[in-house]
Amino acid sequence: MGDSRPRQRKFAPRSRQGCLTCRARRKRCDEKRPDCHNCTRLNLKCEWQTQRQIVPEAERDPSPQPSTSTELIFSPRASLDPWDSLPGEKGAESKHLLQYYIEAFVPSISVASTPSSFYTSLYIPMAFQSNGILDAITALSSAQLARRTTNPQRVQYLQQLSAKHQVKCHEFIRERISPTGEPISDTYQVIGMLMLLVGLECLLGNKHTKWLSQMRCARKLLNSLYLDQGMMTSWELESLHRHFTYHDVMASLMTRASPSDTFYPSERDFSPFLSLGDGNAIDPLMGISYTLCSLIRRIQYVTAPNPAFPHLSGAAFKSIEEDIKQWTYESPLSSPCIDLPLGLDLIALAESYRLAALIQLYHNSEEHKPLIPVCAARAMQFLSRIPPGSPAESSMLYPMFLAGAELDEEAQIALCFQRLSNIQERNRYENVGMVQQVLQEVWRPTLNGQEKRDWAEVLKEWNWSFSLG
**Domain co-membership, 222 together with 313:** no
Q: What is the pLDDT of residues 296-338, one digit of tens each?
A: 988 877 755 445 555 556 788 888 999 999 999 999 988 888 8
**Domain co-membership, 255 together with 316:** no
**Domain co-membership, 296 together with 402:** yes
* Residue 73 located in a structural domain: no
**Domain co-membership, 353 together with 419:** yes
* Residue 58 located in a structural domain: no
* Residue 74 located in a structural domain: no
Please enumerate in sequence order all residues whose Cβ is within 8 A of that of 191, keeping only pairs 6 or more positions apart, or say none.
Answer: 218, 221, 222, 240, 244
**Domain co-membership, 250 together with 298:** no
Show the domain range for 114.
90-259
On whether the pTM is more than 0.85, the answer is: no
* Region of residue 275 (left: phi > 0; alpha: psi -120 to 50; beta: else): beta
**Domain co-membership, 251 together with 358:** no
**Domain co-membership, 383 together with 452:** yes
Which residues are paired to 287 by β-bridges?
Answer: 283
**Domain co-membership, 219 together with 325:** no
Q: What is the pLDDT of residues 413-467, one digit of tens each?
A: 999 999 999 998 888 889 999 999 999 999 999 888 888 899 999 999 999 999 9
What burial letters (b/e) apply to 158-179, b meaning 16+ CB within 10 Å? bbebbeebbebbeebbeebbee
Average pLDDT over residues 341-349: 95
**Domain co-membership, 335 together with 441:** yes
Of the listed ranges 31-35, 49-53, 128-132, 198-202, the least confidently predicted one is: 49-53
**Domain co-membership, 181 together with 319:** no
Domain count, the chain: 2
Query: Distance between CA 307 and CA 69 in Å, rounded?
Result: 53
Final residue belonging to a domain, choices 259, 278, 306: 259
* Residue 282 located in a structural domain: no
* Residue 59 located in a structural domain: no
* Residue 81 located in a structural domain: no
pLDDT bracket for residue 86 (50, 70, 90):
very low
Average pLDDT over residues 85-107: 77
* Residue 299 confidence (pLDDT): 86
* Residue 354 located in a structural domain: yes
* Residue 265 located in a structural domain: no
Q: Which of 25-34, 36-45, 123-132, 164-173 has the highest mean pLDDT?
A: 164-173
**Domain co-membership, 358 together with 459:** yes
* Residue 452 confidence (pLDDT): 86
Query: Distance between CA 58 and CA 65 in Å, rounded?
Result: 17
